[in-house]
Structure 1
Amino acid sequence: MALMCPRPLLRYRSFAILLFAPLLLLPLPITVPTREAKCAYIIIIMAVYWCTEVIPLAVTSLMPVVFFPLLGVQSSKSFRLFSTKKGNRVLESGGSSKAATALSGNVGVCLQYLNDTNMLFVGGLIVAISVERWNLHKRIALRVLLILGVKPALLMLGFMIVTAFLSMWISNTATTAMMVPIVQAVLDQMDNTENDVTMMEQATGQTNTVIELEEKNASDPTPVQVISNGQVPDGTRSSEEKKMKKRICKGMTLCVCYAASIGGTATLTGTGPNMVLKGQMNQLYPDNNDVVNFASWFGFAFPNMILMLVLAWLWLQCSFMGFNFKKSWGCGTVRTAKEKAAYNVLKAEMKKLGPISYAEFNVLVMFALLVLLWFSRHPGFVKGWASRLFPEGEKYITDSAPAVFIALLLFILPANKPKFIGWNSSMSDTEQTEEDIKKPFLSAPLLDWNVVQRKMPWSIVLLLGGGFALADASANSGLSAWLGHQMTPLGSIPPWSIATVLSLIIAVFTECTSNVATATLFLPVFSSMATSVKIHPLYVMLPGTLSASFAFMLPVATPPNAIVFSYGHIRVLDMVRSGIVMNIIGVFCVTLAINTWGRPIFELDTFPTWANSTTNQ
């Protein structure tokens, strides 16, 4: 009997992984019946499911709720362990005991799915949704592009700056989905203008001086055919122009997805891995004195983002447009027909938006207020508003409080300007007054729940929660301590080498797996390794977190890459070639950042007491 063809077997791939992954790993908890082994068993299964995506990522993230309690790794709800005067211990779930002294506690698995970090993420996303709803992000993008200009180099730089800035505050996917159609419209208009100019030249038999031709060396022995009007043959010129046009299209579209991934690293709420780090720091080191907050993260990551963005722009400029300053920068030249067409497209799109509306202005004010509250809550060098205005505010108030506060205001503030009606109205406008009185004073709010429910990425919220549950279970079960003990020999390796190697590993791994899942799986391991060799946990966790966003090589690596790839300008090979260098640039910038300005911001030269106390527990 002939062997089965491998292709039909692929039909059973998902079923086989779902069934055999738990069965093949089953000897682990059976032969080693400890909490550490049981926790590792669930984590490995989740890692396999996350990497293969045989079931949705969010569904895999719910596994701890079921299997941690069943295997005795962790309780579904929080409990506290008490010791009575008689010496016996009482296990309580909630409540309090006056006749007992608390010994230890445990936060249940279910509570990890909506903790402080997830509330910060939800609040930030609600504000981002309001920005998207009122097209404020598009107005900002078009205004910046019109200011920077439409010379090829400046146009690419403008696309990257706008995309990176917007990606700092709203999702990378939404930013890319908004920017790529603008890029495509500009490219289409430039192409149409070039075709019109070519047809005009063919009709008149003259060369338009606006279209620049490459100069040939007089000593070039290659023969050039000459036709009656003295022009270079159309076939030769059109072939070169088509190649150049393809390269420009590739560069202009790639710059958007790369800038979206880079920009998301600059703020704490910019992308999922950043929130994973924040949450896992709170889980693994509860006494860390809020070392990772919005202000400290921005001070470290924003300069790194600027450096990466500049190097990425130079790399894409060199790869797809070359360093012809006259053509790319337009030094000492007038605008070509293509550049005028691009400018007109941007201007027409801006005109469609009209003047800034009352709703847009309100959203802009709320957005600016949120950023101000985040920066000034705990700036580090002076007392923030949390400690000045509220007793013990620094202890109780986190970045999630202002995020949710602004989100609440967005559901209250009106989208239209309220109309004040005086009691003594003139007789001439009685009908209008009566009509206005029937209307509510506050019109429809800036945001309604249906919009939020439709646009909120709830899967990411569950994915973050699943990661926090894994980190907490690893710490409480003893798995993290066991891993740290196994990594003690790494103490002989220089810390900067460890950070660089780990960054490269994450940058490669995230090409095949969700960036949030990558950070969720690796950060607890990095934390255990850092505490075992007595280096600051953030020295390896920060590079690992940023590297999880360096998904530059494959269309499937991240949604922005997939969106750009769907427009058909680039091949997989084009993205791989550019992405390899982008990964190298990213790891270089992160290594530089963590060893320069990152040291004073997070005090990375010393092993913190809060990490030492956690290790000894």
Structure 2
Amino acid sequence: MTKISITTVLRLLVAFGIPLLVLAMPTSALPIEGLTIIQHRLLAIFILAALLWVLEPVPVFATSILIIVLQLILLSDNGLTFLRPSGEHETLLSYTDILNAFSSPIIILFMGGFALAIAASRYELDNNLARVLLKPFGTQPRYIMLGLMLITAVFSMFMSNTATTVMMLALLGPIVASVPKGDTGIKALVLCIPIAANTGGIATPIGTPPNAIALQYLQGEHAITFGGWMMMGLPFVIVQLAFAWWLLQKLFPTTMDKIELNLEGKFQKSWQAIVVYITFAITILLWMTSSFHGMNVYVVSVIPLAAFTLTGIMGKEELKLINWDVLWLVAGGIAIGMALGKTGLAEALAHSIDYATLSPIVVVITLSIVCWLMANFMSNTATANLLVPIAAAVAASMESLASMGGLTGVLVVVAFSASLGMILPVSTPPNSLAYSTGLIESKDMAKTGVIIGVVGLLIVYAAALIIT
């Protein structure tokens, strides 16, 4: 029989005790005024999810399933009848919206990515790509990690960071196979990919959705060109990646002086291997050129699934290799983000601060921190959609914000902050994919993500003050 440690029991008590305390409090006693009963319950579920994901007394995918179950019972229009509030301001969630988290487009994107990774490994495409792309970076672990980060960041500037992570994690297999088990350097190699993917997109207007959302509000005299954005974003990305590269070496040092990669080999020439090569290339190309052909990354992700199953490259046994626990994990993150938006709790949290009473620099920092905190627990796109309009309204109404770059400065800071939220496996798809390798723990991601996030915010603030 498996024994439950005292530490696990304490973590469970903390994780469930605090949300129960919040739930037991009357709404009027909470620091956020005017919460409905549904929002009150969701706040307790949100706190529970955050604690369970960080403390990890139970598997993170189990936490995600628990979130969905609690939402269905306590918040949905098909939950327990006697628990449904009847006030005119109460907004019950549709049970289908909650269950749709399991069939979200992002889930399909992950399945397409897993299909590519499984097929690439089966026909040694991952080994051959590693041989071609990483050979210039030598055999020292820190330079191999630098190579992974640079390649990932550059791809993320122009295509989906999720798609980029799928491709780069395929290169990681042969590298990890060359590292002794138990060497903490493996964690650095795994974590460097989602960090570079999350960070790289900041450099261009099309690299990540928060950038595009901010640009919608930067029109006329405030308009920023593609090159103008890169002049701000690219230096930040370079500095941030350099810091992350150094930090990962310090947090997860390796005992190896060099990694002897098997960089010899040839591309297989069977018809199945050729199908894999062509499908892999077409998928990546379509991901990179979605603005030309009109299919977004989610639609394109179905192509490898169809190609590999129809040709027999992926059969029943290969389908079982898909990381279903990660899909459950991601579904929980999608469900909590959807609920925060549809119940109005996210907006209530964002508006709970009276920005008019704050000094210009405190306003910018407060908006940025709120954005960063929320982006760690819900989609950075959803966070930007919520906070960018608020930031734009605040910037337009406060002339004193001219000293912080006005509308342009405020929105750029908020957009950058949204992309720095990466402390949990559910924070971003690249984090979830990296976690799916089984080579890192949630606490490794949290420790690294907090440090990189805080340092990134400080760099953004310093740059904003210097430029303005």
* Pair 1:25-2:19 in alignment: no
2:317 is matched with: 450
Cα distance change, pair 563–48 in 1 and its aligned pair in 2 (3 A): closer
Cα distance change, pair 539–73 in 1 and its aligned pair in 2 (3 A): farther
Q: Which amino acid aligns with 1:57?
A: V
Any conservation in 1 of the 2:126–2:173 contact (CA below 8 Å)? no
Question: Distance in 2 between the 1:481 and 1:319 partners?
Answer: 36
1:262 is matched with: 195
Question: Distance in 1 between the 2:165 and 2:41 partners?
Answer: 39
Give the C-alpha shift of residue 362 in structure 1.
3.0
Q: Which amino acid aligns with 1:489?
A: Y
Structure of greater Rg: 1
Give the C-alpha shift of residue 404 in structure 1.
0.5
2:378 is matched with: 520
Q: How does 1:404-483 map to 2 (within 5 A)?
A: 404-413=302-311, 445-454=312-321, 456-483=322-349
Any conservation in 2 of the 1:65–1:109 contact (CA below 8 Å)? yes
Any conservation in 2 of the 1:163–1:263 contact (CA below 8 Å)? yes
Q: Deviations over 1:387-430 (max 9, x none)?
A: xxxxxxxxxx53211110232112234xxxxxxxxxxxxxxxxx
Counting helix residues as a fraction of each chain, which structure ranks higher?
2
1:48 is matched with: 51
Percent identical pairs in the alignment equals 17
1:35 is matched with: 38
Any conservation in 2 of the 1:410–1:446 contact (CA below 8 Å)? yes
TM-score normalised by L of structure 2: 0.61
Question: Could you list the runs of 5+ residues in structure 1 that have no partner in the other structure?
Answer: 1-6, 77-103, 186-248, 269-274, 290-294, 322-337, 379-383, 387-396, 414-444, 510-515, 552-556, 566-571, 597-617
Partner residue of 2:60 out of 57, 61, 75: 57
1:140 is matched with: 129
Q: How does 1:568-579 map to 2 (within 5 A)?
A: none
1:160 is matched with: 146
TM-score normalised by L of structure 1: 0.49
1:377 is matched with: 290
Give the C-alpha shift of residue 374 in structure 1.
2.0
* Pair 1:114-2:107 in alignment: no
SS of residue matched to 2:378: helix
Question: Distance in 2 between the 1:525 and 1:585 partners?
Answer: 20
* Pair 1:124-2:84 in alignment: no
Question: Distance in 2 between the 1:580 and 1:69 partners?
Answer: 31
Question: Could you list the runs of 5+ residues in structure 2 that have no partner in the other structure?
Answer: 29-34, 80-92, 153-161, 202-206, 218-225, 394-409, 426-431
2:166 is matched with: 170
Partner residue of 2:269 out of 335, 357, 360: 357
Partner residue of 1:402 out of 294, 300, 303: 300
Question: Distance in 1 between the 2:340 and 2:129 partners?
Answer: 44
SS of residue matched to 1:256: helix
Any conservation in 1 of the 2:64–2:331 contact (CA below 8 Å)? yes
SS of residue matched to 1:108: helix
Cα distance change, pair 306–8 in 1 and its aligned pair in 2 (3 A): closer
Q: Deviations over 1:172-220 (max 9, x none)?
A: 77655542343569xxxxxxxxxxxxxxxxxxxxxxxxxxxxxxxxxxx
Q: Which amino acid aligns with 1:371?
A: I
Q: Which amino acid aligns with 2:331?
A: G
Any conservation in 1 of the 2:127–2:171 contact (CA below 8 Å)? no
Question: Distance in 2 between the 1:105 and 1:316 partners?
Answer: 43
Question: Distance in 2 between the 1:53 and 1:319 partners?
Answer: 20
Any conservation in 1 of the 2:119–2:313 contact (CA below 8 Å)? yes
Question: Distance in 2 between the 1:303 and 1:137 partners?
Answer: 31
SS of residue matched to 1:26: helix
2:13 is matched with: 16
RMSD after superposition = 5.4
Any conservation in 2 of the 1:259–1:309 contact (CA below 8 Å)? no
Q: Which amino acid aligns with 1:126?
A: A
Partner residue of 1:543 out of 417, 432, 439: 417
Question: Distance in 2 between the 1:532 and 1:559 partners?
Answer: 33
Give the C-alpha shift of residue 501 in structure 1.
4.6
Question: Distance in 2 between the 1:302 and 1:356 partners?
Answer: 38
Give the C-alpha shift of residue 37 in structure 1.
1.6
